[in-house]
């Protein structure tokens, strides 16, 4: 049971620097918490309202008191030990939630103050930091980790400075993961990244096109496209589907229309619409037999047939992937090989 305490005006309940394990609630009278603002050094007087708690943080955290608790008018208080306070709070959860809100505001404020003092040190922007984190994992052949980080980059910065590169590195991570597994394979990034003004522009081993420098600006079609890719990585397939369809129909830029056509199928597949996927890709195969993502298209077709239970057709598509000319170990090829083996016979 909490104890009742009464204090005369002008007395002090606790001093700054005291070690104390009591939490107080003001019942009657007036109490002021006096301290110096850590930023300005100004004297602050915070008058406690009746019913209000004080001394909570220092008691819970076992820190020295951070203020002088001075009695302005004869005061009656309830004094809780920490276990008593916890027991009381457990059955008055609203009070904890209120305190959490107060504390989170305080935390926000002090965090800002610290950041203001830190601003002249070399902090990287979150965007660059995220990209570099991805690069670190890719360089150290932690492919599933780098894939995650680059997909998050695309989620948050679909039109970011290095969105295109992030998309390529994500692809490179995926390919390396399928081909070698985490921790294996040749070093996927040449050298260390040390660009003073941003992420390195080292080309991933799988970069399908020549790597452009990091800072290039994206066309509107490209921005829209990476926006949609971002939705796809967030597993918002319905929304991504809509966007890809819009980009494909607008056909502003043949490169991104083709990409969007391909990713549209990936959305359908992710939505388990096997027939719609097959229909969509069949049209592409007929109209654009030289589509740059043909191996992947054929592979996903195989997956659809496998899902539908038609092993023979699935095998047919996987074999087609393997007979495609070009990159001998694209991720589609490796996956097709695995799928064929799983179906029992190459």
Q: Are 32 and 114 in contact (CB under 8 A)?
A: no
| For another protein, the closer CB: 54 or 318 | 54
The distance of closest approach from Cβ of residue 171 to another protein in the complex, given in angstroms and rounded to an integer, is 18
The distance of closest approach from Cβ of residue 184 to another protein in the complex, given in angstroms and rounded to an integer, is 14
User: Judged by CB under 8 A, does residue 72 bind another protein?
Assistant: no
The distance of closest approach from Cβ of residue 331 to another protein in the complex, given in angstroms and rounded to an integer, is 19
Binding mask 137-156 for another protein (x = CB under 8 A): ---x-x-xx--xx--x---x
**Residue positions counted in the chain:** 346
Between CA 137 and CA 101 the distance in angstroms is 37
152 phi and psi angles, rounded to 5 deg: -70, -40
| For another protein, the closer CB: 15 or 156 | 156
Between CA 232 and CA 235 the distance in angstroms is 5
Q: Are 166 and 135 in contact (CB under 8 A)?
A: no
**What DSSP element (H or E) covers 156?**
helix 143-156
Q: Which stretch binds another protein (CB under 8 A): 83-91, 244-252, 275-283, 324-332?
A: 83-91
Q: Is the dihedral of CA 215, 202, 182, 128 positive or negative?
A: negative
| For another protein, the closer CB: 236 or 319 | 236
Site for another protein in 172-211 (CB under 8 A): 182, 192
Site for another protein in 94-113 (CB under 8 A): 96-97, 99-100, 103-104, 106-108, 110-111, 113
How big is the chain by its Cα radius of gyration, in Å? 31
| For another protein, the closer CB: 15 or 103 | 103
**What DSSP element (H or E) covers 80?**
strand 68-81
CA 31 from centroid of its chain's CA atoms: 45
User: DSSP 3-state assignment of 54?
Assistant: strand
| For another protein, the closer CB: 115 or 249 | 115
Instruction: Give the tokens for residue 106.
Output: 């305080």
DSSP 63: P
Contacts with another protein, residue ranges (CB under 8 A): 38-39, 41, 56-57, 60-61, 63, 66, 86, 89-91, 93, 96-97, 99-100, 103-104, 106-108, 110-111, 113-114, 117-118, 121-122, 126-127, 129-130, 132-134, 136, 140, 142, 144-145, 148-149, 152, 156, 182, 192
């Amino acid at each position: 049971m909490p104890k009742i305490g009464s204090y005369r005006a002008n007395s002090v309940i606790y001093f700054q620097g005291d070690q104390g394990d009591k939490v107080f609630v003001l019942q009657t009278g007036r109490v002021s918490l006096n301290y110096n603002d850590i930023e300005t050094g100004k004297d602050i007087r915070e008058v406690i309202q009746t019913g209000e708690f004080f001394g909570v943080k220092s008691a819970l955290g076992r820190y020295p008191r951070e203020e002088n608790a001075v009695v302005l008018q004869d005061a009656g208080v309830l004094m809780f030990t920490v276990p008593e306070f916890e027991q009381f709070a457990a059955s008055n959860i609203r009070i904890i939630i209120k305190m959490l809100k107060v504390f989170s505001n305080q935390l926000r404020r002090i965090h800002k103050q610290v950041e203001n003092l830190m601003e002249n040190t070399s902090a990287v922007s979150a965007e660059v930091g995220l990209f570099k984190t991805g690069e670190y994992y890719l360089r150290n052949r932690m492919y599933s980790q780098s894939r995650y980080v680059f997909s998050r980059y695309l989620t948050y910065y679909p039109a970011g400075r290095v969105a295109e590169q992030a998309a390529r590195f994500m692809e490179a991570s995926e390919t390396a993961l399928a081909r070698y597994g985490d921790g294996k394979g040749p070093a996927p990034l040449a050298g260390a990244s040390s660009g003073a003004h941003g992420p390195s522009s080292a080309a991933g081993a799988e970069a399908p096109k020549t790597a452009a420098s990091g800072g290039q600006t994206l066309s509107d079609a490209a921005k829209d496209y990476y926006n949609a890719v971002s939705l796809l990585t967030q597993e918002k397939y319905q929304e991504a589907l809509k966007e890809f369809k819009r980009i494909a129909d607008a056909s502003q830029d043949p490169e991104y229309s083709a990409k969007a056509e391909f990713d549209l199928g990936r959305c359908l597949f992710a939505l388990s619409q096997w027939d719609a996927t097959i229909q969509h890709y069949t049209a592409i195969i007929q109209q654009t037999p030289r589509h740059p993502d043909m191996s992947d298209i054929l592979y996903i077709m195989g997956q659809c047939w496998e899902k539908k239970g038609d092993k023979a057709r699935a095998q047919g598509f996987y074999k087609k992937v393997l007979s495609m000319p070009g990159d001998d170990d694209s991720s589609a090829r490796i996956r097709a090989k695995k799928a064929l083996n799983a179906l029992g016979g190459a």
